[in-house]
Amino acid sequence: MWKYILKRLLYLIPVLFGVTLLVYIIMSVAPGDPAKAILGDQATPEAIAQLREELGLDDPIIVQYLRYAKGLLKGDLGTSYKSKGPVITEIAARIPTTLKLTFSAIIIAVIVAIPLGVVAAIKQNTLFDGLSMFIALLGISMPIFWLGILLLIQFAQKLGWFPSSGAESWKSFVLPGIALGFHSMASIARTTRSSMLEVIRQDYIRTARSKGMPYNQVVTQHALPNALIPTITVVGLQIGALMAGSVLTESVFSLPGIGRLIIFSIQGRDIPVVLGCILVFTIVFSIVNLLVDLLYAYVDPRIKAQYS
């Protein structure tokens, strides 16, 4: 097991270098001069040339990248073209906001989705089932930013229950959490329902029932643990979607997180910051995927047996 974890973590290293190289190339071949973006349209050609020199932008892309990769090996994410400060501090200042946002989204999603999916499956083809699957379909189809705007108007501006921008208290994360989590909630509820439906038709459920076990107990002790295996995968997959969705949510709710930082930095051609943000997202995404695989083994002894 440990060997497997170590292997996966080691494999992450070349992947991360691949990711940074890829993004470096995209940012470098894309139109737009970082020096011009920093100094503005009024800057003299001399000033731009001088800044390009300072930032090392006149070297071939591969030389620039190798310089960046060398720093990366030492754990140095470089300095921002714009603020001249280390990228790591810029990102570190914004990580808590994005983490709180995605965390509240996934918590809201899971808390609503699993009971909804389980009950919908047990009461298959009833009004409750129809209604909850309709809500789930809405969640899958509704754009995050539209839901976000509607929540913002209704609950922040009209009713004044929550702040409409900023990230000062837990209250600031309720509406963004709902907006961001609604889509994931829908996917998780649908998966839970369909895997639950599959599980409750199994022989061992009938066996448990026929030995006189109460229905609720059969559901919670026998059906649920088995039905949750596909749910875990979907929750893991949702983390990636949530990170992308955080860009939109942070924009709607004016939250100072990594999602907004990355948009500003791409537009300002601040390549080191862009790379830093992508790296953070990629590392979190990869580690979540690894955790999902491990959790899989933990929940399902059959899979665990394959590792050892």
Partner 1 sequence: MEAKKHKKKGPIVEVLQRLGRNKTAMVGLAIVIMLIVAAVTSPFFYDYDEVIIKQNIPERLQHPSKTYIFGTDDLGRQIFPRIIYGARVSLSVGFSAVAIAFIVGGFLGAVGGYYGGVIDNVIMRFMDIFLAIPGTLFAITIAAALGSNIRNLIIALAISSVPGFARIIRSSVITVRDVEYIEAARAIGAKDSRIVLNHVIPNALAPVIVHTTLNVASIILTIAGLSFLGLGVAPPTPEWGAMLSAGRTYIVGHSYMTAFPGFAIMITILALNLLGDGLRDALDPRLK
Task: List interacting residues with partner 1 (CB under 8 A).
Answer: 15-16, 18-19, 22-23, 26-27, 30-32, 137-138, 140-146, 149, 153, 157, 240-241, 243-245, 247-248, 251, 262-263, 266-267, 274, 278, 281-282, 285-286
Pair 195, 227: CB distance under 8 Å: yes
**Residue 30 or 111: which CB sits closer to partner 1?**
30
Beta strands in 73-174 (DSSP E): none
Q: What is the DSSP string of 279-301?
A: HHHHHHHHHHHHHHHHHHHHH-H
Six-digit token string for 60: 């071939």
Q: How far is CA 274 from CA 28, 62, 171, 267, 268, in A?
A: 12, 18, 29, 10, 10
Least Å distance between CB 285 and partner 1? 5
**Residue 208 or 258: which CB sits closer to partner 1?**
258
**Residue 115 or 143: which CB sits closer to partner 1?**
143
Distant-in-sequence, close-in-space partners of 103: CB < 8 Å, separation ≥ 6: none
Least Å distance between CB 245 and partner 1? 8
Least Å distance between CB 143 and partner 1? 5
**Residue 219 or 248: which CB sits closer to partner 1?**
248
Pair 37, 271: CB distance under 8 Å: no
Six-digit token string for 10: 């080691």
**Residue 219 or 265: which CB sits closer to partner 1?**
265
- The owner of tokens 């209604």 is 131
305 CB-contact burial (10 Å; exposed 0-12 / middle 13-18 / buried 19+) = exposed
**Residue 145 or 296: which CB sits closer to partner 1?**
145
Least Å distance between CB 262 and partner 1? 7
**Residue 50 or 268: which CB sits closer to partner 1?**
268
Least Å distance between CB 254 and partner 1? 12
Least Å distance between CB 136 and partner 1? 10
Exposure b/e, 33-47, CB count within 10 A at least 16 = b: ebbbebeeeeeeeee
Least Å distance between CB 278 and partner 1? 6
